[in-house]
Amino acid sequence: MDHSQNNLPHQVLLELKQAQRILENPSLAARITNAIGRPIEKGFGLLPDNWNSQIEKVTQSALIKASDAAIFSVNGRRSGKASNNLHKLGVAITGGVGGFFGLAGLALELPASTTIMLRSIADVARSQGEALEGKEAKQACLEVLALGGPSTADDSTDSGYYAVRAMMAHSISSASRHVATRGLSEEGAPAVLKLITAVAPRFGIQVTEKAAAQALPFIGAASGALINTIFIDHFQQTAKGHFTVRRLERQYGQDTIREAYARIKAGNF
């Protein structure tokens, strides 16, 4: 059956509009600022001088440690809602513990938080009908971390949802077979490192914003838990948008959904 953009069911267009609103307007910094009552820009000045040079190492290490433990572990249930609150509780606990150590504890706390967050992303994927044993779904889970915020290299013509997906697809095409069969943490796997390298800079923007908030003097265990809860909620929402689009693409065709998405983005719905 042909499903053009003009005869997509109204409910599908509403779902797609909601997903587009989530995916084109991610703002972790604004959400943290609203929650803690002061702009986190003040926290950027408190980060170590070498933070920018260290952030990629921190995020890459967290992703490598987290991926094998998280993406491949959501099995069993094939239906039902994602367990978002359970995963939020998990990162709140790790954030609370990390809050006692301040910024110094981030390198230890981030892998644990990232593992829980990736598992939550995979759970959202499952709830949207993704077959997690497939290599494409596993890649899509990591893509969420790249979709969650802009990279410093982005400009207005290359920061949209489908532009990021295209960039990521190109970056990880050589890693897909390795990811599906060997996992992500094996040494000497340049294709896999290429995948992590593609995701890390974009994920690192979000990590830097989280770190800036935790660098503020009043941040303690309770605030660390709050920031981690905002952090995972941000990516849970991004995952919901991403995997909603992917589900609709499976049902109606990628070209049809992409065209409808573009019309929605242009304000034609």
Percent of the chain with pLDDT over 70: 72
- Residue with the larger pLDDT of the pair 193 and 52: 52
Domain ranges of the chain: 5-265
User: CA Rg, the chain, in Å?
Assistant: 18
Report d(CA 59, CA 80) in Å as an integer.
Answer: 31
Residue from 177, 152, 154 nearest 167 by CA:
154
Q: pLDDT at position 214, please?
A: 79
Q: Cα separations (Å) of 137 from 44, 90, 162?
A: 35, 23, 16
Distance, CA of 169 to chain centre: 15
Task: Identify which of 116-130, 205-219, 243-257 has the greatest average pLDDT.
Answer: 243-257
State mean pLDDT over 104-114.
Answer: 80
What percent of the chain lies above the pLDDT cut of 90?
A: 22
The larger pLDDT score, comparing residue 84 to residue 18, is at 18
Return the biggest CA–CA distance within the chain: 59
Given a cut of 90, is residue 138 above it in pLDDT?
no
